[in-house]
Amino acid sequence: MRSIRLAVTMPTDERHPMHQFAMDHGGYGAYWQLHWEGRPDDGMTLLFYVEGPREPYLDALEERVPDATHSVTDAEGDGFYLYVHADIDGLDRGLADAIDRPGVLLVPPLEYRMDGTLVASLVGPAEALSATVEAIPDAIDPDILQIRPYGERSFRAAGALTDRQREIVQAALDVGYYDEPRQASLEDVAAETGCAASTAGEHLRKAEGAVLERVVSGPVTEPGVGRQPADRGDS
């Protein structure tokens, strides 16, 4: 069983109108498709997390995809969850048809980036993955970022932390140490956890290293899985 991570770039005139809206608006970060249900020929029910202002997005959705039905829930921070049911067509339909085949799993989330790319991970036997990649319409310009044996690296990332590391990471999140812009210092984290700032910093560095070690791995190039992987590491 293999896992591939790929980026696809739609031509501007074929890109989904809401992806294009978010790119043009300038007030959105990447947004993520968290869950989905349905088949390409029956319409799709989708759940997104969108990072950015809610009202402009919903106004644009009603204008650009008038046949879609949707509901929305606010999320913590500057974002919201969007439930939507809509038909898909054009190259979106071509991509969905390529992926909708026996033996291949599309692993959530799908990431819609503000450079116009859609990044997705697929899992399955090498032969099925190869057939999927080959079936993607050429106009979508698929770019394989990573090929590797499937494992539990991401699933077990949180288990890489000790109890004390987890406690200090949680405190750092609570006081805003990881906010952008940063709202707290190491001294603030230390005050929350009863240790010296240098100790808090050491625990955070070890926790960050442990999680990244589990989450990120270098690309593994293997023969027989579709088109040749790009020589890049920006997965």
Using DSSP's 3-state secondary structure scheme, residue 33 falls into strand
Selection from 89, 90, 57 nearest residue 72 by Cα: 57
CB 20 within 8 A of CB 65: no
> 53 preceded by cis ω (within 30°)?
no
Quote the CA–CA distance of 59 and 72 in Å, as a whole number: 12
pLDDT in tens for each of the 235 residues of the chain? 888 888 998 888 889 999 999 999 988 887 889 998 876 567 789 999 998 899 999 999 999 999 899 999 988 767 899 999 988 877 787 888 888 888 899 888 888 988 899 998 999 998 999 988 888 888 887 888 888 887 655 455 555 677 788 889 989 998 999 888 889 999 999 998 888 898 899 989 888 887 776 665 544 444 445 554 444 444 4
**Domain locations along the chain:** 2-149, 157-215
Using DSSP's 3-state secondary structure scheme, residue 161 falls into coil
Question: Measured on CA atoms in the order 9, 136, 149, 47, is the torsion positive or negative?
Answer: positive
Any long-range contacts for 171-175 (C-beta under 8 Å, 24+ apart)? 172/200, 172/204
* DSSP character string of 140-152: G--EEEEEEE--S
Q: What stretch of H or E contains 83?
A: strand 79-86
> Greatest CA span in the chain, whole angstroms?
59
pTM of the model as a whole: 0.65
Using DSSP's 3-state secondary structure scheme, residue 235 falls into coil
